[in-house]
Structure 1
Amino acid sequence: MLRSGAGHPDAARSQASTSRQLSPEEEAQRLYATLNDYLLLEHKAQPRLCLPVESENGEVTTGARDGAAHVLRCLKVWFDLPADVLINAINLFDRFLTKMKVRPCHVPCITVSCMNIALEQYAAETNTKRSISVEELVSISQSACTAGDVVRMSRVLVDKLSLAGGARAATALDWLRLLRAVLLLHAPAASVQEEELVQLLEIVSCDAACVNTRTSELALVVLYYKLEEQLAEWSRASEEGGALPEDAYVLIDFARQLQAHCNMSEAALSHARTRVRHVVSRYERCEARRDQRQRLVWRLSERTLKVLRPTDRLTSLLPTIEEQHFAVDATPTRNRSGSECSENEETSDWPRSPVLPVYCDN
């Protein structure tokens, strides 16, 4: 959807190596040219969902949409995929639900298909070979569909979303990286780590409350959510006797200029800020209640246990050994059959219960 020039997401990556040789004026011109290109085509990649909270006539609800987004994030974590794939897959899912009326039974297949298309587009952009097959996506996602279903659904998505050209739209992640680069150009002292911003954007993108927010507004709100911590730290330092850094005034002026340049109204920006804060606070409360080490329980049947390790013919009991104190040579011989095991039932490494506890650090 974006032309291959200064505004294309690939152009920002390909010119990253040459940006060090540019002067600050040339770098600013390149970034603002990309910003203008993003603004021209922002409406084409903007979802406009209107999903009910409860399904009345077999419609997809906001809960189903959030569930699909979390499945995509689980796939991203499982396969260790970059954030570009996740944000693009969520954007494809929301845009498809905006154009098409979908039945709830088709949501799992559409979810995996969006991840499939996002993987194809990322491999084409980075000129790398795709390492995850469709069969692996279907197996890990447990979507109850076949690889052929995903391939056919992917063709439908490509046709309905006009993705035949291979180019993708600028997502909120592209906007976030662009705004961060522009911010650091004006205020180098602003400490905003890209990893923290990307993680925050993933949390916000998985919630349906922020799905209809403009990608530029969402990226700006996420960026300033982290910058508020920096501004609060500078304010505390100034109250203790230190002077407020000049970059603090630059940040405030930068926000006003960017808001005017992108035609962001104060009401829309305030509404987006409220929704982002609500989503992040709810996520932090859930994380605070959850233990650092999560205990997962796999329930297996007796038949599955026998397939994994045949223990039906093993026993933990041994015959009693009678000791002879007076006649050393009269010690009885010890007979053991191959069907007996010397393991104690309480200290056995294989549980006798069909419930197997599994621990993970995530």
Structure 2
Amino acid sequence: MIDTVTGAQAFAVKVKGLVDLEGRCQPKITGLRLIETAQDNGLRMTTRLRELEVKDLLYLCRFFGFSSETFSLAVSLLDRFLSVMKIQPKHLSCVGLCCFYIAVKSSEDEKTVPLASDLIRISQNRFTVSDMMRMEKIIMEKLYWKVKAPTALHFLRLFHSHIQEQLDAESREILSIETLEAQLKACHCSFIFSKIKPSLLALALLCFEAQEEHDPEHMNQISEALKNLQHLLNVRDGDLVCVRELVGKCLAEYANTKCSRPNSQRLRWTISGRTARQLKHSYYKITHLPTIPESAC
């Protein structure tokens, strides 16, 4: 007799598989704590330097029009590598760009993958393509060539889709995946979330957004779905509340105009006409000014 697997059972099996893989691909807590306790003296990696690098990666993603998957994977690779290798701050830009390049090649269409030399030029770094290739090899070896780790974005989309299937048409409008993904990017820019499991971060984001809506008419269905997810992930109430509060604090700081945002100007001024002519035409459309005719005197 062939057993019939229901949608709920299939979802539970998929989540369990991702959670098991998540546990094997988490950044090492001991390594992250070393970064967290390091003094900002220019000699060691610090949380501030890591956050600045992630913001640069976010703007590179926006510049090229790459997907949220690429950004989340790049951050995951960066955190995993920083947690197992002590690097000097002067090497961070090379490490970050290599993690970004690995993520791009893994997530994006092959036709849209930029040349390594163009990445270096646009990000205003001074190392060479050869330096970048050597660093990429080191990163891959230290991560045991495991690139496709489950990210918070994977869980967020999976959980959101599962919840939406259980809601009526009006309730589905409460949790916007676009808003949730934007909030996740803000969380990625904060070091504190490097120490939190991606599945827990995704669940906390959903709970925070649902709580912010304050719509009792539709909240019962959403709350029930979130409770079931929490039970499936075996997350304690205290842990979920703690991470949800961290999410709220992070988003409040990010919404503040005084908050440090990715610097768009840093990437804009380098794209001169001369630089643009040396880059792939597929990156962006360059508007050429018409030739001014010389009038005969």
Structure 2 length-normalised TM: 0.79
- Displacement of 1:98 in angstroms is 0.7
Per-residue CA deviations over 1:85-133 (Å, capped at 9, x if unaligned) read 011001100000111111111101001000111011114xx6x434311
| Distance in 2 separating the partners of 1:288 and 1:135 | 32
Moved over 6 A (4+): 287-290
Which of 123, 129, 153 is the aligned partner of 2:111?
A: 129
- Which residue pairs with 1:272 in the alignment? 243
- Which residue pairs with 1:226 in the alignment? 209
1:179 aligns with 2:164: no
- Displacement of 1:32 in angstroms is 2.3
Contact persistence 2:73–2:103 (CA under 8 A) = yes
Contact persistence 1:87–1:205 (CA under 8 A) = yes
| Distance in 2 separating the partners of 1:179 and 1:276 | 17
Per-residue CA deviations over 1:4-30 (Å, capped at 9, x if unaligned) read xxxxxxxxxxxxxxxxxxxxx744333
Q: Determine what percentage of the aligned residue pairs are the same residue.
A: 26
| Distance in 2 separating the partners of 1:120 and 1:289 | 29
SS of the residue corresponding to residue 264 of structure 1 reads coil
1:231-246 alignment runs, 5 A limit: 232=214, 234-235=215-216, 244-245=217-218
Total equivalences in the alignment: 256
SS of the residue corresponding to residue 99 of structure 1 reads coil
| Distance in 2 separating the partners of 1:228 and 1:162 | 40
Give unpaired runs (5+ residues) of structure 1.
1-24, 236-243, 299-362
1:250-289 alignment runs, 5 A limit: 250-286=221-257
| Distance in 2 separating the partners of 1:288 and 1:162 | 36
- Displacement of 1:220 in angstroms is 0.8
1:199 aligns with 2:157: no
| Distance in 1 separating the partners of 2:242 and 2:127 | 39
1:1-362 alignment runs, 5 A limit: 26-47=6-27, 48=29, 49-50=32-33, 51=35, 52=37, 54-55=39-40, 58-123=43-108, 128-163=110-145, 168-188=148-168, 189-191=171-173, 192-230=175-213, 232=214, 234-235=215-216, 244-245=217-218, 248-286=219-257
Per-residue CA deviations over 1:248-277 (Å, capped at 9, x if unaligned) read 222222222221221212222122111111
Per-residue CA deviations over 1:219-241 (Å, capped at 9, x if unaligned) read 011122222233x1x23xxxxxx
| Distance in 2 separating the partners of 1:26 and 1:287 | 49
- Displacement of 1:73 in angstroms is 0.5
SS of the residue corresponding to residue 59 of structure 1 reads coil
Per-residue CA deviations over 1:285-311 (Å, capped at 9, x if unaligned) read 127999xx99x997xxxxxxxxxxxxx
Contact persistence 1:45–1:171 (CA under 8 A) = no
1:229/1:270 Cα in 2 relative to 1: closer, same or farther (>3 Å)?
A: closer
Contact persistence 1:73–1:86 (CA under 8 A) = yes
| Distance in 1 separating the partners of 2:152 and 2:96 | 19
- Displacement of 1:56 in angstroms is 5.3
SS of the residue corresponding to residue 113 of structure 2 reads coil
1:33/1:132 Cα in 2 relative to 1: closer, same or farther (>3 Å)?
A: same
Contact persistence 2:72–2:151 (CA under 8 A) = yes
More helix by share: 2
- Displacement of 1:143 in angstroms is 2.2
Structure 1 length-normalised TM: 0.65
| Distance in 2 separating the partners of 1:197 and 1:258 | 17
Task: Choose 1 or 2 for highest CA Rg.
Answer: 1
Give unpaired runs (5+ residues) of structure 2.
270-297
- Displacement of 1:43 in angstroms is 1.3
| Distance in 1 separating the partners of 2:255 and 2:12 | 35
Give the letter aligned to residue 99 of structure 2. Answer: C
SS of the residue corresponding to residue 145 of structure 2 reads coil
- Displacement of 1:172 in angstroms is 0.5
- Which residue pairs with 2:283 in the alignment? none
